[in-house]
Amino acid sequence: MVVLPTGAGKTHVAVMAIERCQRAALVVAPTLDLVSQWYEILRVTFGDEVGVIGGGDYRVAPLTVTTYDSAYLHMERFGDRFGLVIFDECHHLPGETYSLAAELSLAPFRLGLTATPERADARESALPRLIGETVYRRDIVEMSGAWLADYETERISIDLSPEERETYDRARETYRDFVRSQGIRMSSPNGWGEFIKRSAFSESGRRAMAAYRLQRRIAFSAKAKLGVVEHLLSVHASDRAILFTQDNRTAYEISRLFLVPAITHQTKVTERSRILSGLAEGSYRAVVTSKVLNEGVDVPDANVAIIVSGSGSVREHVQRLGRVLRKRGDKRAVLYELVSADTSETFTSARRREHSAYR
């Protein structure tokens, strides 16, 4: 397994492995976007016909690209036809069903590529069995400058307005009262599931769930955050910025308010390609997205990331930073993280920054 940050050349490592092995090779990637990126890379590099399995295609060739979904469904049939299997974004592999893709393959040569093998369920421990041990690992800090763009991160603390503060505190209290009264420990692994279950069975539970959502929404999209976004869009009017939100609702709100294109899971492929090309060629200078650009998709010219809101996941945060780190000339990248002060978002932010890239 090779662990390298986004933009550090994982694809190049894979191409060299295919060249070195001289065996039929299968590349497994998590999304159809990545499958088409791999298809282009392999076709251009090796000049041969490249097979595709997934998204309605079923063409097997000595060089083939597929999704994790198709791989676990079909590996039983073609698992004996490849000497080398490359698992891109291999942190997906240890899932209950996806791991079948590795177990049903006979390939003696295996390569896993990821920036962040660690998973919330700790199942990364299965990766050595499914692929092999980690043979090379470098993190963002070690590679920035020479191999990745130089970068800085800035955490901007946002104060809620007095009205927002009052509503936030009240909603938070309602939610916490319920959790306390039910004896639910939100820090335990089952805490969240327990809260969902119990909140459905009583009036006070439903009120607590509504209050939970309200306080989260206030923290995620505080009015003052939008003021900062306006300022940053002006400051970086000549750069290429990606704004990240935790939910679609905030992404569309920002799109309407600042008249920047949005990409969510509801955006059709043609429109999405048009927006990304617009960003690459400079007719668009900013795009707002919820989670769909977190992983894999190449946006080489982007140099500004603005985290309007997000989860507590370290991986998500590192991946978002990775979107702007691809080296291009003397590009210098910056990541802004907008955090509502004295709200639960402060803890969420602290959790997701537990990575060397943010120290």
Q: What residues line the site for other proteins (CB under 8 A)? A: 200-203, 205-206, 230, 233-238, 252, 255-261, 266, 268, 270-271, 274, 278, 283-286
DSSP-assigned beta bridge partners for residue 287: 242
Closest distance to other proteins from the beta carbon of 271 (Å): 5
**Residue among 10 and 198 whose Cβ is closer to other proteins:** 198
Lookup: tokens for 175: 């939610």
Nearest distance in Å: CB 108, other proteins: 36
User: Please, are residues 213 and 246 in contact by the beta-carbon 8 Å criterion?
Assistant: no
Closer residue to other proteins, CB minimum distance, 37 or 255: 255
Report the residue number, 286 or 339, with the smaller CB distance to other proteins: 286
Q: CB–CB of 158/225 below 8 Å? A: yes
What minimum distance in Å lies between the beta carbon of 294 and other proteins? 21
Pick from 73, 91, 77, 80: nearest CA to 30: 91
Rg (CA), the chain: 22
Pick 43 or 74: Cβ nearer other proteins? 74
User: Shortest approach of other proteins to residue 230 CB, angstroms?
Assistant: 7
Contact status, residue 68 vs residue 85, Cβ threshold 8 Å? no
CB 338 within 8 A of CB 226: no
* β-bridge mates for residue 73, sequence order: none
**Sequence letter at residue 224:** A
For the bound state, the minimum distance from the C-beta of residue 248 to other proteins, rounded and expressed in Å, comes to 9
Cβ closest to other proteins, residue 27 vs residue 333? 333
- Which of 203, 330 has the CB closer to other proteins? 203
Listed residue (169, 175, 176, 335) closest to 242, CA to CA: 335
**Rounded to the nearest whole angstrom, what is the least distance from the CB of residue 20 to other proteins in the complex?**
44
CB burial of residue 219 (10 Å; 0-12, 13-18, 19+): buried
